[in-house]
Each structure stands twice: as C-alpha cells, then as structure tokens.
Amino acid sequence: MSFQAPKGTFDWMPPRSERVLAVRDALAAPARRAGYGYIETPAFEDTGLFSRGVGESTDIVTKEMYTFEDKGGRSITLRPEGTASVMRAVLEHGLPGGPLPVKLWYSGSYYRYERAQKGRYRHFSQVGAEAIGIEDPAVDAELITLAVDGYAALGLSGVRLLLNSLGCAECRPAYRAALQDFLRGLDLDEQTRQRIEINPLRVLDDKRPQVQAQLTGAPLVTDHLCGACKAYHEEVRTLLTAAGVKYTDDPRLVRGLDYYTRTTFEFLHDGLGAQSAVGGGGRYDGLSEMIGGPPLPSVGWALGVDRTVLAMEAEGLFDAEPATVDVFAVPLGEEAKRVAFGLVVELRRAGLSVDMAFGGRGVKGAMKAADRSGARFALILGDRDLAAGAVQMKDLTTAEQTAVPFAEVADTLKGKLS
C-alpha cells in the first residue's frame, strides 16, 4: 500500500518550502513592528462558533466546513478561517477588560472542502492580523498599510488593492431591501433564491458567470451609506492616500463572510488566473455579539501564504533556489570528521548556518554536496590541517582558499558573511 497527500492538499518540500517560511515572516513583520502580539488558537473549534460567526448562509458553512462528531459527542469543525477563533479567544480570556484595541497577529493552517485547483486548496496557510475593540478609521488604514508593506517587502509589484464600504446597522437595512427587490426579479436557482432572503450580499459574491451576468444593474451599497459611514469611509481613503497606498474603489466588492461591516478590502494579483485574491479583510463590528460577547468593533485581515508564493513565482522573484546553509564542512578521514563535527556544533551555537558532509564521502563527492547546499564557504579539514591546528576556508564563489586557525574560524566567518 502506498499513501499520497489527500486530494486538495500538498506538501511543501525543501528547498521550495524555504520560500513559505520567508513569506510568512515578511507578511507578519509589519504587524509585529506595529505592536501586534502573537496568538495561536486550536486547529478545531465548536462548530457553532463558525456557523454563528461566519454565517449560516455562506458557502463556507453550508458546503465547505470539515465537521465531525468527536468521541464525546460534540460537533467539532476544523477551522475554515481565523477571525472567529481569535475573537473567541479574546472573549474567553477577558482581554476586552484591558487596554483597547487588542492587537494580535497569527499564522496557521485552515481547512475548507473546496473544488481543488491551483491556488485553491483544502488545506491552506494564512497570516492574519486583528485589531479588536476600537472603531477608528485610522486603525482600518493602519491594517491595510501593514498588509501593503508586507507585500512590498517581498518585492511584489503586481498586487492591487480594492476598497469598499458595506455600511452599518443603520444604513444596511435600506440597501438590503433594495438589493432583495432587484435580486427577486432575476433568473436564479432555488438555493440562490433562498440566499436572497437570508443574506442577499452573498448573491453578489457568487462567482458563477451565469449569476454575475445578471448583476450588472444591481444597486450599489455606496449609494445607500448613511452620513456616518460615508464620513468614516472617506477618512479611511484620505489616510491611505496620505500613506502613499494606491487603491481602487470597487462599489461591488463583497467579502464572503457574514460578519463584515463598513470597510472591506481585497488584494488581487493578476498572475494567478481565476484565483486572483491573495488576501483581504475588513471591519466586523458585530462579530463579538454574534458569538455571545459584548459589542467590540474590530477590523482585520488574512493574507494567503500559498497564493503569495504563487504570485512571487509568477513575477519571477524566485530565480535561484535558496541556500540551505552559509557554511559547509568537508572532513577528509575519520579523525577529521570528529574534529569537524565539534567545529560545526560550535559554529551553529555561535549563530551560523552550517552543515557538513556525512557518510564517508570522498573529497569530490563532499565538494559536490557543498555546492548543492548553496553555501558560500566550505571548510576543508584533512590530516595536514589537523596537525597545523587550522582549517582550509574556501570561498565557493571566488575559489579563494586560506588557512584559518580553529580558534579564529567563527569570527572570521562572521566577518566575511556580515
């Protein structure tokens, strides 16, 4: 019997997996610099958290969740997104009783039973950030700017930002009624018609061409915003412009989760084909109350790690395979291997990235291994070097080779690599 990764999943393998780590670090770095603390939540939660928080009318809840009954008879779901879990943790641990906003970032795996294709997987990775407990357009603009800076740090130039406002509890009802009147006159299947009555915004998010073709004349939420929502959205736009963030107003932009209010945004990359969204988010002022908490206006985003890697590959930002180490030791003989092993341990503890040739390879095979590792320096150690108390340090980019006393190897390498 042979096993393979389940359909819709895949393995990140070296050296490509190094790109994933680099992307995660780069996307999270701006949030960390802005004072966002790290949070980690369980990979599975009570099913009710997602059905209430994400929305019973969403595709995620109705079609895509991995839900099962555990041995205790409880209905459990693998998390399909991160925001509901973060809000649950914030409420459970009483964080709203302290200084607000509660600013958190996270990174992890998420699970949705979707039609598998490039850029859409059943197991995927995201980096997310949330600012909980504050209603301030400056926080919305801050989070958007942090995401923009994360993409910029990776060298991505093809990411586009779409921006919209979905209104609030005051102005949404009038828009909802207008939208329902429009949608009821369209030629839609029964399931979609049921969605009109539950949450008509979900129909606008329907990606099927036969549905989208009928939505051309649909009323726009921006035409129904109350004065407060208009002023709020305009301030977000003003702050983004002042920060040098380029965006496109998209009055038809609707995110696929029920909890969004006011500011909503999405990041697209045209090099990914049909699955062009690489990240997105928005304000979700009612989520806390949906899952039994107090009013906590909040805003956040999630950025797809898998799709960001694909976007970077589409732009040719990964021309060379990443080096696994900076230094590679090549021992010639058993005694040299013992000494080289001790030297490698010492260099690693000094903060250097080091590997060595194993398995009794000859010098030719060991040097090939050094080249494959991407290391800049090889440390060659034979009987003569042992007698001299030195190692041959070879620069693999210039072929220059010098003898360096054992006691000076760490400092010499740090100086050359800095």
Is the pLDDT at 52 greater than 70? The verdict is yes
pLDDT recorded at residue 57: 64
Residue 131 parent element (H or E): strand 123-132
- Assigned token pair, 407: 């006691």
CB-based contacts of 240, cutoff 8 Å, min separation 6:
141, 144, 145, 163, 247
Q: Mean pLDDT lowest for which of 232-236, 239-243, 252-256?
A: 252-256
Is 255 assigned a ligand-binding role in the annotation?
A: yes
Is the pLDDT at 361 greater than 90? The verdict is no
Is 83 assigned a ligand-binding role in the annotation?
A: yes
Q: At 165, which amino acid appears?
A: S
**15-168+247-315 and 327-417 share one fold:** no
Is 111 assigned a ligand-binding role in the annotation?
A: no
Is 313 assigned a ligand-binding role in the annotation?
A: no
Is 175 assigned a ligand-binding role in the annotation?
A: no
Q: What is the CATH number of domain 327-417?
A: 3.40.50.800
Residues 314-356 have pLDDT tens digits of 999 986 777 789 999 999 999 999 999 999 999 999 999 999 9
Is the pLDDT at 275 greater than 80? The verdict is no
Pick from 104, 57, 108: nearest CA to 80: 108
Is 126 assigned a ligand-binding role in the annotation?
A: yes
Domain borders along the chain are 15-168+247-315, 171-225, 327-417
User: Quick one: fold of 15-168+247-315?
Assistant: BirA Bifunctional Protein; domain 2 (3.30.930)
pLDDT top residue among 15 and 372: 372
Is 342 assigned a ligand-binding role in the annotation?
A: no
Q: Mean pLDDT lowest for which of 63-72, 121-130, 195-204, 288-297?
A: 195-204
Helix residue spans in 103-226 (DSSP H): 137-153, 172-183, 190-198, 201-204, 209-212
Cβ atoms of 112 and 64 within 8 Å: the answer is yes
Is 279 assigned a ligand-binding role in the annotation?
A: no
User: What number of CA atoms fall less than 13 Å from residue 171's CA on the CB side?
Assistant: 17
